[in-house]
Chains A and B, each alone.
Chain A
């Protein structure tokens, strides 16, 4: 605590004083409190939740030795990923399952059937429910057993622990916090360790964290500096923060007790922490002290699943369910009421007297049980099978995405990945696409294009005619007039070689030795240029190092804090690496401090121009700014390089500041930042670099198709505005005639007024331009695809965005937000540059929660996109080069951007249409299933007499009508995939949940009502004379029900056949198979005296029915009558305009025509990267 407030406030001495004063008193209080708490903790066994840090005794030894050692209590190293034990499995699992609303509903129905005397036996709803619950329980139990097994394997894994100087083999679960654990090469760390000792000389070790974040590159971790070489005698404590799930954050410090009074203090950061689950590589063995164990390791804390996303379709289903629940309840209420009205009119007939018990029962209780009975009788209107079918459709449907060979990328040898199948149909509903730039729109395949030293351009190209600098070929720089001095050149190249965090890949041990070998002549003579592999977290850095290599400066590697580079003269230069001032997206730069052999201390800094220019001497800026801007306009990623000579004093200051800040337990980040900002000032600008990031394959075509499909594409990037803008032009998001509205720091600072005022004015001005004056945009299909012809593009940067979002006054804030949203929503494309990851999520949330709650989709490839991927309705990960973070957190992952087109336009569209029909059809078929049963109550004295046999009630949804709709919902292609891809506008037809609107729902409901009425009353009139057989015999009530049911099954199946546009053999099989199965089942069910049945009520009913000509005739009649309006509608609908379905059958020649019409003049093929046109003319300001 003592050093906490020392660092980083030098710039404001006055404030610092104040702070110091205030904090010192607070500090003592805090310190006291803390001591007290720690003591209490020890007494009470550690109530961790309230304390911010934990203290660990390395090697379980008391420190300092004279103090009494009370081992603190932490959880053990047992990993428990299983959910159940043998004892709690049944109750817990059942509880979990019945928490689902559907299961609970069916349980209630079942219980009612058991308790109350109801018309249908409990078996009808109990059996399916029992089946579903059992299968799920078995599946979950099995999965849990596997987890138990896996846990056991991990927990009983043998590890070596150093205790009192001896190596002891222990089971992993017995590791306690403070134990010193030894891990050998290729082993997995058993818990989170602080690295104390490594077998490598430079005190580093390499790990891969593939199982944690999916990144397979080697990462370097460092030992705590200057620890005792013999761990047996190490006496130290570690104070660190409480466990938290962020994998990349760790702060702590280590107190090392020597015999001296004051303990040495070392700062600990994430580079010292080895995470459980990571693998040790390239290092023989390491020793580390356990800091977090068991369920407190970062891996375990990251274990919990993502929050569930729900699709819009599901919301519609729920709304429809409510309607049907309402219908159900009102049906039951109507029946109950009418029953008592009826009974008051009809005296109890002598043939059907009540029992004594019934007479004694309270009237209201009777009414209530009657109500419940009716509920049970009609409960099939909300069937279990709908949930089963919807889930099945989603689960099985998602296979088609993983199976699609168009998504297979031969480079990474992987196809698409589906992480959740709940959102398939959401892919067909996307209105806003938020895309990352680097790695998503572009390949993230960096190539060093040119650099600029002291205002002279160096281009690695043959033709140099247009350039204002000098062309530099592979060889050493020629001495020509127009170029910078050799000294500057070399300084610049050295800077490129030194200022980075690139590692040299050590593929084999041989290779490593070679690199390690100091001054090896061979190496000097044959620099392994081409074979040299670099590893870095960002491909830019590699590109820069490789660029420097091309000009003769080769980075050889980092070895025990010494960076070695091979210069043009093939000499090895060694620099001592003093500090790395890490890159972060806020600072947008990174620096290194090195000491050269001559003892000079140099600071090299590279970063975005906006972050470098204010920190260098202004006179140098102009010369280079020109180049940077031109490069940026050309779509290159630019970085500026600056350096600074540090005097011994300056360095000492900085060094102290950095060390202090690194030791801080709280607000370490901010403190470090302060020091960094302090050091990185008054630098000298030496040059700039330009790195090209090529556009992804078909990026422009994809974007164009998506825009034509009615989606709005927003680019959210952390990159510079100019670079991002040119990428937008290249992808066709901005067209030549797009009017750009710019809201960036640059435009805000124009006019010399206060930023807030300017913001206000600009927003109003843009609003007027884009929203008020713009011609009203019609929604839906009528909106033509020519919106691009005269559109607006909006550009905003991070700083302006935060001004918009967090304006000083409350009223302004919401006003700005609204203005901003309205402007953006009227623009064809929006570019947000200089975005921090959280800002990306902020924008997504802003749009997501705006009016009409549009469906959003985020696509990105890097860890910085995770927040927006998680925030959007659908998150898409690109299997790019920046690790697997995005893929892991996404809902769907595809290898390339171009695959998005098919994913949305084809798969999404089809899934949406399929599930929409599935849902509507399900409600329809259950309405016309139950309606006759309801109507029958009017003819049987409201006595809850079921119309259908129990077997039919149970099987209707499970067997007779389930397979055709399932097959339909998996295979239907109302428009074939090629046409969908060629004709992006088709996507608009289903926008805004078009197929699940209330109008359509009402149509289907009306259809269900109509069919139910036809079924029931058709048979009712037939039964006005029940003598239907040619021998004069009569039919009874079960025959009545069976005829209705037969008509029902045939009609709903044929209705599905009518809407099926794509008849594969599977459709034929299940549709005709279902009908055949129904007939077969009915014969079978009625043809045998079943020993377990009490009521054999359907005995030979079906066969007798078929022996009656009248029954046949009425069945045919009613089926045709029910489908007649449908056929008429299908036929009459056709002549209206070029309907989608027709497009499915155009010849290829016609298809081409359509395509060219759709694209219009705008769709002419565009060069992948347009480098030469000035976009300034289109900018408003």
Chain B
């Protein structure tokens, strides 16, 4: 019997199950033993377990059971099965019944709670302001149309926009890409985690997963290697507020846009100062305008692999239409938000998406306790909540019709 390969598993499981209740039994008997026989010959769960363990591997279940039980029943009949709640399948059990008396009020309560949460979510989401600026330049009338030609280098363009009311703070700026499959498998694994963890050995010999972005044409190793890093988004933006016809730059805060753990634990720069030394004999990724050690020369803590823009890019998006956090507006007078007025956005246009029919946009948004604007949650909560209420009404009708049979 049971010659299947899983014997080991269930034997182990049997041991644990059995020992569990034997332990209980043992304790139970201890008390009894003292009271009735006074022999002091107490059962030893540990000993039983070892007996069980040694016998388990060979025996059939019947043997097992008997052997295990023989230990316990010596004073009685040797083969008599244990009279415990577990062996007799009489463990005390809770047998819940979903009766109308519980379910209908329960449903009403849940439904009302959901509707409440839904209303809250809906209002919150409605209050979130979003401003999307598509700057792909696909159409000739777009200000960035001239830059959309890949042959033009270091192109810049400006978009103007107007805010009617105060754009409440804290304002966050995202860049968004459409039809961009950052979630492709090959693309996602095309990186070398050891490099990014600061392992200098892998600087000279990038992982094969990075191919074809591991070496350049002259067999120089690329650091950081791989398609993911190579395709890092490298448009940059400057936001100006038009005050009385003059441009006043709105300071953008690039701190805290990546996960703290990514910057502090998961990614590391090699242990070299200055950082540039570590990159000797390597070349920057083909698509990058500057090398990794030049990403932010002003802040050592934001340079190299722990540059937050880099980290944000490296956390792959789940879906092909996505947005990633670019900057926050937190400084000075903009803490409360962007006042109404005219603004101008200067874009240094480097990243080409038209070749794969993609789109780029810049998104200004403020955040609530639930994150960005998301109507789905609120609506879903409202729908499910109302469903619950409706269902409870239906149930009420059904039960009224059947006259609560179990209450009779």
Interface residues of A (CB under 8 A from B): 97, 100, 103, 119, 132-133, 135-136, 138-139, 142-143, 146, 346-347, 349-357, 387-388, 391-392, 394-396, 398-400, 402-405, 407-408, 410, 413-415, 417-422, 939-941, 943-946, 966, 971, 973, 977, 1018, 1020-1037, 1039-1041, 1061-1067, 1089, 1094-1096, 1099-1100, 1104, 1108-1110, 1113-1114, 1117, 1120-1121, 1124, 1127-1128, 1130-1132, 1134-1135, 1141-1142, 1144-1145
Contacts and interface: CB of A to CB of B under 8 A. Distances in A.
Contact of B316 (A346, A394, A407, A1037): A1037
Contacts of A1064: 91-93
A1023 B373 CA distance: 11
B331 interface: no
B384 A1120 contact: yes
Contacts of A392: 6, 9-10, 13
Given A415-B80, A1034-B325, 9 more contacts: A349-B180, A351-B187, A351-B230, A352-B187, A418-B60, A418-B61, A419-B1, A1025-B374, A1099-B261
B98 interface: yes
Contacts of A407: 81
A1066 B189 CA distance: 43
A396 B14 contact: yes
Nearest to B328: A1032
- Rank and list the top 6 A-B pairs by shortest CB-CB distance, nearest first: A135-B8, A136-B5, A1027-B372, A351-B231, A1040-B318, A403-B87
B179 to A, nearest CB: 8
B319 interface: yes
Interface string B338-376: 000000000000001001110000000101111111101
B145 to A, nearest CB: 20
A402 B377 contact: no
Interface string B375-408: 0110011001001100100010011001001100
A403 B65 contact: yes
A1 to B, nearest CB: 46
B6 A388 contact: yes
Q: Interface residues of B toward A: which range?
A: 35 or more
19 contacts: A347-B355, A351-B227, A353-B212, A354-B186, A387-B6, A391-B2, A398-B62, A966-B13, A1025-B372, A1027-B367, A1034-B315, A1100-B261, A1110-B371, A1117-B380, A1124-B384, A1124-B387, A1135-B398, A1135-B402, A1141-B97
A413 B376 contact: no
**Could you say which of B57, B65, B185, B395 has the most chain A C-beta atoms within 10 Å of its C-beta?**
B185
A1027 B8 contact: no
Interface string B161-181: 000000000101010000011
B2 A394 contact: yes
A342 B371 CA distance: 33
Contact of B5 (A135, A1040, A1135): A135
A1134 B99 CA distance: 8
B317 interface: yes
Contacts of B66: 402
Nearest to B378: A1113
Contacts of A1127: 98, 103
B62 A418 contact: yes
Nearest to A405: B81
B14 A1063 contact: no
Contacts of A1113: 117, 121, 370, 377, 381
Contact of B356 (A346, A356, A940): A346
B18 to A, nearest CB: 9
Nearest to A1061: B95
Nearest to B69: A403
A387 to B, nearest CB: 7
Contacts of A1029: 371
B306 interface: no
Contacts of A1039: 318
A350 B91 contact: no
Given A945-B188, A1031-B256, A1113-B381, A1124 B388 contact: yes
Contacts of B319: 939, 1020, 1023-1024, 1026, 1040
B116 to A, nearest CB: 12
A1121 B58 CA distance: 48
Nearest to B121: A1113
A1030 B371 contact: yes
Contact of A1131 (B83, B87, B103, B170): B103
B6 A350 contact: no
A1077 B88 CA distance: 29
B175 to A, nearest CB: 11
B7 A395 contact: yes
A116 to B, nearest CB: 13
A966 B188 CA distance: 37
A1119 to B, nearest CB: 11
A448 B216 CA distance: 105
A1031 B64 CA distance: 59
B77 interface: yes
B256 A971 contact: no
Contacts of A1144: 95
Contacts of A138: 8
Contacts of A421: 1-2, 61
Interface in B66-118: 66, 69, 77-83, 87-89, 91-100, 103, 110, 114, 117
**Could you say which of B62, B94, B287 has the most chain A C-beta atoms within 10 Å of its C-beta?**
B62
A670 B314 CA distance: 90
B323 interface: yes
Contact of A1094 (B193, B211, B258): B193
**Could you say which of B121, B183, B189 has the most chain A C-beta atoms within 10 Å of its C-beta?**
B183
A136 B64 contact: no
A1025 B1 contact: no
Nearest to B172: A1032
A977 B371 CA distance: 53
Contacts of A349: 180-181, 355-356
B377 A1117 contact: yes
B259 interface: yes
B42 interface: no
Nearest to B388: A1124
A356 B64 CA distance: 61
Contact of A1030 (B103, B110, B367, B387): B367
A1095 B172 CA distance: 30
Given A352-B227, A1131-B103, A402 B317 contact: no
B320 to A, nearest CB: 6
Contact of A940 (B5, B110, B184): B184
Contact of A1028 (B94, B103, B371, B405): B371
A940 to B, nearest CB: 4
A395 B5 contact: no
**Could you say which of A398, A1027, A1030, A1100 has the most chain B C-beta atoms within 10 Å of its C-beta?**
A1027
Given A1117-B381, A1124-B388, A1030 B93 contact: no
Contacts of B391: 1124, 1128
A943 B265 CA distance: 29
B123 interface: no
Contact of A355 (B82, B212, B324): B212
A1131 B330 CA distance: 54
A49 to B, nearest CB: 30
A354 B315 CA distance: 21
Given A146-B58, A350-B352, A351-B230, A1032 B317 contact: no
Contacts of B374: 1022, 1024-1025, 1028, 1110
Given A413-B77, A1037-B318, A1026 B323 contact: yes
Contacts of A941: 181, 183-184, 320
Given A352-B186, A945-B184, A1065-B91, A1028 B398 contact: no
A1144 B367 CA distance: 54
Contacts of B399: 1135
Contacts of B77: 408, 410, 413
Nearest to B181: A941
